[in-house]
C-alpha cells in the first residue's frame, strides 16, 4: 500500500483510475445516440461492405443529416459539425451531397457544417493525427462526427491483416477522437465525438477485410447487402455493445434526374429516399 506522502500526491492530481460504485448512480445512465437507434454518441462504428453496395451513399446521408439536423428516415438526429474524410472519388462525394441537398430542399450554405478533406489522416503513422488536429484548430473546426471513407486508405503502409498494427492504428484513432472531445471552446459542440469507419469486406462479403482487431475494437458493426442491380440495400447489425442491436433495415434508393455539372454535362445519380 502507498504511504501517506504518496497518497497525498495522488489526491493532488487528477485520478486516472477512479473507483466507481453502483450507488454513485441514482439513475442508471443510458447510451445516448447521434442517430437513433443506429449510431451511439461517442462510439466508433464500422460500416462494411463489398464495392458498389452504397457504403458512401449511406455514410454520406448520415453525415448530411447530422450537419443539418434532418431526420434520417424519420429517425431522430442530433445536429453537429461533420468532418468527412473523402479518399475515394471526392467529386462523386460532391455530386451526392448536391443531390441530397436538392432532394431535401436545403441551400448550399445549410450544409456548411459538413466539411471534407481529401488528404488522409494516416492512423498507421505517428504524427499524422497531430498535424490534422493542428490544422483543424487553425481553421477553428471541431467535428462532432467523423466519417472515414475508407479505413484502408487511412492506414497506408500498415498490414491490415496484422493484429498489432491494426490495434495501434485504432489506438491512434481513439486518441485523436478523445483529444477532440477535450476542445470545449465551442459552446454548441456535442459532448462526445462519434466516428464512422467505412471499410471493405473480404471477396465474399462475409467478413471484414484484414485483422479481426477491427471488429473487436468497434462499438457497432454494420454490413450492407445489395442484390445485383437492385436500387436498395439491407443494413444489418452484426454486433453491438452498449446498445440494443437494431433490426435489419432495407433502404431504398432512387435515381435523381439529372442535374448539371461543371462543363455542361449531366449524369443521373442514385439517391437515398
Q: What is the pLDDT of residues 118-163, one digit of tens each?
A: 999 999 998 999 999 999 999 999 999 999 998 889 998 888 778 8
Q: What is the pLDDT of residues 57-91, one digit of tens each?
A: 999 999 999 999 999 999 999 999 999 999 988 99
pLDDT of residue 265: 43
Count CB atoms within 10 A of the CB of residue 216: 13
Q: Is the pLDDT of residue 6 over 70?
A: no
Q: Is the pLDDT of residue 10 over 60?
A: no
Is residue 2, in this structure, part of any structural domain at all?
no
Is residue 53, in this structure, part of any structural domain at all?
yes
Higher pLDDT, 180 or 88: 180
pLDDT of residue 162: 83
Range of the domain at 170: 30-272
Count CB atoms within 10 A of the CB of residue 155: 25
Average model confidence (pLDDT) across the chain = 86
pLDDT of residue 269: 38
For the chain, what is the domain count?
1
Q: Dihedrals φ, ψ of 159, to 5°?
A: -90, 105
pLDDT of residue 126: 87
Q: Which of 178, 203, 201, 181 is nearest to 190 (CA)?
A: 181
Q: Dihedrals φ, ψ of 9, to 5°?
A: -65, -40
**The residue to which cell 504511504 is assigned:** 3
CA-CA distances (angstroms) from residue 147 to 71, 188, 204, 257, 268? 18, 20, 24, 27, 25
Is residue 20, in this structure, part of any structural domain at all?
no
196 DSSP assignment:
E
What is the distance, to the nearest Å, from the Cα of residue 41 to the centroid of all Cα atoms in its chain? 10
Is residue 251, in this structure, part of any structural domain at all?
yes
Is residue 39, in this structure, part of any structural domain at all?
yes
CA-CA distances (angstroms) from residue 162 to 66, 130, 150, 268? 34, 24, 18, 41
Cα separation, 173 vs 218, in Å, equals 11
Sequence-distant (6+) residues with CB within 8 A of 265 are none
Is residue 128, in this structure, part of any structural domain at all?
yes
63 DSSP assignment:
H
Count CB atoms within 10 A of the CB of residue 137: 13
Is residue 10, in this structure, part of any structural domain at all?
no
Give bridge partners of residue 272 from the DSSP assignment.
253
Residue 167 has which C-alpha cell? 490495434
CATH of the domain at 48: 3.40.50.300
Instruction: End-to-end CA distance of the chain: give it in Å, rounded.
Output: 62
Is residue 169, in this structure, part of any structural domain at all?
yes
Instruction: Look up the pTM and report it.
Output: 0.86
pLDDT of residue 112: 96
Amino acid at each position: 500500500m502507498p504511504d501517506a506522502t504518496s497518497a497525498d500526491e495522488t489526491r493532488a492530481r487528477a485520478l486516472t483510475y477512479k473507483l466507481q460504485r453502483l450507488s454513485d448512480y441514482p439513475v442508471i445512465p443510458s447510451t445516448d445516440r447521434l442517430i437513433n437507434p443506429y449510431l451511439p454518441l461517442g462510439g466508433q462504428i464500422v460500416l462494411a461492405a463489398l464495392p458498389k453496395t452504397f457504403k458512401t451513399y449511406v455514410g454520406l446521408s448520415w453525415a448530411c443529416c447530422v450537419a443539418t439536423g434532418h431526420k434520417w428516415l424519420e429517425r431522430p438526429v442530433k445536429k453537429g459539425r461533420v468532418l468527412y474524410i473523402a479518399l475515394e472519388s471526392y467529386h462523386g462525394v460532391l455530386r451526392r451531397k448536391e443531390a441530397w441537398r436538392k432532394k431535401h430542399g436545403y441551400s448550399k450554405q445549410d450544409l456548411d457544417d459538413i466539411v471534407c478533406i481529401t488528404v488522409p489522416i494516416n492512423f498507421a503513422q505517428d504524427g499524422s493525427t497531430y498535424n490534422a488536429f493542428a490544422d483543424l484548430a487553425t481553421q477553428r473546426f471541431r467535428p462532432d462526427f467523423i466519417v472515414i471513407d475508407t479505413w484502408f486508405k487511412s492506414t497506408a503502409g500498415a498490414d491490415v491483416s496484422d493484429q498489432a498494427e491494426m490495434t495501434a492504428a485504432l489506438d491512434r484513432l481513439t486518441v485523436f477522437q478523445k483529444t477532440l472531445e477535450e476542445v470545449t471552446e465551442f459552446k454548441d459542440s456535442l459532448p462526445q465525438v462519434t466516428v464512422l469507419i467505412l471499410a471493405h469486406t473480404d471477396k465474399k462479403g462475409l467478413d471484414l477485410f484484414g485483422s479481426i482487431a477491427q471488429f473487436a475494437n468497434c462499438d457497432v458493426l454494420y454490413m450492407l447487402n445489395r442484390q445485383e442491380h437492385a436500387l436498395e440495400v439491407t443494413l444489418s447489425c452484426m454486433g453491438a455493445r452498449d446498445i440494443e442491436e437494431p433490426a435489419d433495415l432495407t433502404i431504398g434508393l432512387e435515381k435523381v434526374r439529372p442535374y448539371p455539372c461543371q462543363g455542361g454535362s449531366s449524369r443521373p445519380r442514385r439517391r437515398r429516399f
